[in-house]
Amino acid sequence: MPDTALARSFENIGDDYDRYRPGFPASAASVILPRAVPAVLDLGAGTGKFTELLLDRARRVVAVEPSERMLQVLRAKLPVVESLIGTAELIPVADASMDVVTVAQAFHWFDRDTACAEIGRVLVPGGTLGLLWNHSDPLCGWDRAAHRIAHPAVHEQDSTTDSADSALPGFDLWGHDELRWRERVSREHYLRRWSTVSSVLVADDATRSRMLRAIEDVLDDHPETRGRTELELPQITDVYVYRRR
């Protein structure tokens, strides 16, 4: 079961989440939707960082998200999107009304079996489920060191670990793509990004300060980041595509 406190930690940080979290490569949307469809649902849409890549790929784009603060940001950015308060376990759309459901950086927060049943309910027969996550490049030593500081108990809690499964109930895995890309980000932006991560958000003030200071020390000490105000951050986006049975 997902950790409820960690899952709810994002509820009131919509603006910072949208400003500092990375987006997704356009090619990730192409993997899930190689052609346009009548209707797509972005589930756990957050502030719309993946939703915006769907606008040219469906006549109807629906975003479902449990946090009103997150949806406020999404609505301001993407007024043409139909945005609804809801959860993966209780999706507020009709049966068999969606051709595709996407979940970006959120499936690990869902109750898997209940969510899969609900996703199956709203998808047309044979419909597509696309799951995707950004995670750090194992070859980037300084970013991996920062991850170990922020996630001391379970390394990369926000990544695909124990999240993607070839045997989701009611679905068959059709494909997996690993997309490599690079993000140019300022040192300040990178540091602020860590203040939007669940394990940092739920930490007490002293622990949070210690974590962020330790990440600053990594940037000060690592030869690839020492003295630099602009960073080249390699990213990996894992995309899993399923079909509803």
In the predicted model, is pLDDT for residue 155 greater than 50? no
State mean pLDDT over 151-167.
Answer: 57
pLDDT at 162: 47
* pTM as predicted: 0.88
Domain 4-137+157-183+234-244 bears CATH identifier 3.40.50.1820: no
Q: Extract the tokens encoding 233.
A: 């951050």
Region of 241 (left: φ > 0; alpha: ψ -120 to 50; beta: rest) is: beta
- Cα 173–174–178 angle (5° rounding)? 95
Q: Can you say whether the dihedral through the CA atoms of 10, 13, 18, 19 is positive or negative?
A: negative
Separation of CA 80 from chain center: 21
Describe the strand order of the beta sheet including 123-136 as a list of residue ranges: 82-85, 58-65, 37-43, 98-104, 123-136, 230-244, 171-186
The upper half-sphere exposure of residue 117, i.e. CA atoms within 13 Å in the direction of its Cβ, equals: 5
pLDDT in tens, 7-29: 455 555 678 889 999 999 999 99
pLDDT in tens, 64-104: 999 999 999 999 999 999 999 999 999 999 999 999 999 99
pLDDT in tens, 192-239: 999 998 888 888 999 999 999 999 999 999 999 999 999 999 999 999
Burial class (CB in 10 A: 0-12, 13-18, 19+), 22: middle
Q: How far apart are CA 11 and CA 14, in angstroms?
A: 7
Nearest to 37 by CA among 172, 130, 127, 170: 127
- The pLDDT confidence band at residue 158, using thresholds 50, 70 and 90, is very low
The residues that bridge with 173 in the sheet, in sequence order, are: 242
Neighbours of 6 (CB within 10 A): 17
pLDDT in tens, 25-41: 999 999 999 999 999 99
